[in-house]
Amino acid sequence: MENLLLLYYFIALALGIFCLGCYFTIHRQNKNEIIKTFLICYGLFCLFILATTILAFLVRMTTHSNNTLILIITAAQFFGIFTSMLILTFLICKIHLVPFTGKARKILLLFTIIIWCFCILRDSGVHRAYLSPYLGLVDDELFFIVVAIFNIFIYCRYRKNIENLKLYKILRTTFFIILLSVPGFIIDEFLSSRGFRLLIFTPLFFILISIFSLYSFFNYHEAMQSERYDITDELRARIGITERELEVAKLLLKGYSYQKIADELIISISTVRAHVTSIYKKAGINSRYELYNIINKTDL
């Protein structure tokens, strides 16, 4: 049975590495900030699966465990999943144009560090106080529950901020699939507390996340390339941008990096930054996400 579970883990890990390579290829073709952020998020998720697979291998193949090695791998495991979910939450806040993103980022980062440190101290057994049943709720399950509730709140409260529904619907499937993995984490944690040493549901959800997210982001990449961002003369006059700034804005909306815009227009990267700053200032916005919304508003 445990040999089959190990094979199950390795299949999930192999799929994760394949998808990570696909994301990297997509990112090289489209330097979009959303794709870049999700690439980092997914890479950290793969780190979590890698650490989980190594732990499963050690549990199965070794009779005398090295506690220090296991603690290091466990720390990497928690770091991978916590930072992955945290970065995904930051991305969801940014896409939904949440006004308190800065404050939420600081609070969630502090909360994550506290939970991560507690999990490491608990698993290291440095003090019996960390094993107290009164601290039973201060665990990774608490992190997953808080993050899931926060993201559901963001979606329900701020989904109307998104004007480009075509692109948003492509991404929404991925975000929901990832959040649906939270019950799997909690069930696996419950089973491990009952003496079951290997995770059952987590690799399954990782496989589902890999398949659905790769499909969604491939469609997102294709949509970004084919999407027409027509800045009308009326909108251009309202914002007050120049002809060169108009060219920069169109490439910016396609997800081009500053360097790629500079190469396309044969100008320096510092000039691109100056044009982008000017566009944002004239439009009264702070990011390309807000620029997307201006272009996609039906009343313009």
Q: Which residue has the tokens 């991305």?
A: 91
The top-level CATH class assigned to 2-226 is mainly alpha
Can you say how many angstroms the Cα of residue 172 is from the centroid of all Cα atoms in its chain?
A: 12
Query: At 24, which amino acid appears?
Result: F
Q: Check if the beta carbon of residue 220 is closer than 8 Å to that of residue 170.
A: yes
Q: Which of 154-158, 247-251, 286-290 has the lowest mean pLDDT?
A: 286-290
pLDDT 10s digits, 239-287: 888 888 888 888 887 777 788 888 888 889 899 999 999 988 888 887 7
Query: Is 271:259 a contact under the CB 8 Å cutoff?
Result: no
Task: Note the pTM of the prediction, 2 decimals.
Answer: 0.74
- Which part of the chain has CATH 1.20.1070? 2-226
- Helical ranges in the chain per DSSP H: 2-29, 33-61, 67-95, 101-124, 140-158, 165-179, 182-193, 201-226, 233-239, 243-253, 258-265, 269-283, 288-296
The CATH code that applies to domain 233-296 is 1.10.10.10
